[in-house]
Structure 1
């Protein structure tokens, strides 16, 4: 699911500023403090993706001496990247966990720091792309389906808690009951346990699934939805990712690529090699095939529950209007990992799945009151 700001909002939000160190561009991001490191989530879908790793292990995070008194952080595998949290409390938390040693930046040869050569970087990139796309991608999907359905739930819950520290949960009882009932119907049609649903008070228009059967919706998405069938279409799409174990597949693929790099070139070189040339592969949430499959499965679930598809059509048409009006414009259809919004709108327009809204007027009103 793509994240952007609703039409009536001021722009992208987040809780930190990231300079990726490759393009020279600043990115608004949301940072999540996890047990193993600092996870970075882009907050503006209309901007180009940061060209640096989006998971910073604590053992590699440090505050560079050049920062002086400023709370700016760097990472050994992306030495030119700089992360500046908005809130002093977040900066103090990162500082208390960061254990990277600035003196270890780069590889030491005769006491001089150097980065991997161009030949090494090219060779690493070719190896990673071939191994990931030819071997790891299909194998990760098989492995994800062999694991119990609740695998990763604890890590996902921890990530949601960290996100809730910046963007509080919306806990309106009637609204949650309406969304849970809709989620139960959709999951029942798919023959899976009902995912655990969380709504957070965040202005970005977004929804995403996490390992272990977790689905998150934002208040921005709810406010931007004009009909219950729009929310139903988005929720059906995210539940379809749960059906196909896409969140776990992506996690296994990302971790597998990192492991291969470390085995081939050593832990210190792995992050630097991956940061510039394989970042898009490692940081992409889902492949085009996964997104397309989730859309088709979502339509099946909506058909089984007599939910009309024109809500999804309207939602993606408005999203397409934002895309062509943004700075990236039509180029998004070439670089995003999912089908273009115009194509998705056409798919939902042709589906003819049912006649009901998924959420009736009273339920939609209760959902929209959740975060107020």
Structure 2
């Protein structure tokens, strides 16, 4: 069960169907005992990011003939994208606002799947996001009582009380059912409950004698929050000191997205047993006026991930950032200067930390092309990589030998 500390400090229990073990006496684990636990950070670009605007086959004749210039990255000129030299025969260019991400690729610390998505043909935000969150192949398919990331974190993480973290004020589907999970958008003011010590005492009294999974979640979350709060550095007056990112990382230019990423990084350093985290960046549903809106989103994504990469670079354990969206968008623009819901999109991952490099560096997934006979339904980039296969590869590289997600589906 994931406990949520919302923007207004309201603590509430997330519901899951599985019973919880007793965690009443939970205390924070010795950092030395959890130093080798890997960390997977999921960044979900909600709204359906246009993968072909983010990563363009700049010299593909079908692409240049069917895509308006303002919604693609060129090989040269004012709209020239960042050249990747990913595969022979096609000049793939990252959006010019993604220079830092292109730099990570050139360092050999990034893998990209340019035509990934859910197997089920769907253009529904709700349906596609739900399929991905539960780790399904199609809507209605049987799944467990936990999102795929929560299940993987519980199977992979150590004895730490905070294994899964949503760096925002809600628990995403991927983390539903995390029995040692929290949703915390910021640590800037500590983790004091509403009403201070009195409020904490009331919540403890409420859950102390109660039975059942919600009561167990309440007790465990209070212990987790109190333990994490005690680790926050404070001045002589008891005020929480601002987080100081490592290596000159600056989350400020990425605004709220940056604050969420900074919270994840801060908890990762305070609690070495943190195994999984999730952060959303919305605003990718670009049905109209895409050019300017998309440019702003890419710059925000680039700034936030660049700061996170710098901050975590010297983390003594391995970490990976996995970036996905529920689907891509149509090849042809619409009459409003935007793109409608499509099928395949771009999934990418990068990592570092620990004593070995990112083993999937410069891996580039299959590309189906954009000729008329290659398109799905004649309008969409075809899915050539089941998103679950891309995720499996990322998890297997990060935590060799650990249980994989999705079973054999």
Is the TM value for this pair above 0.5? no
Bigger relative contact order, structure 1 or 2 (CA pairs below 8 A, ≥6 apart)? 2
Greater helix share, structure number: 1
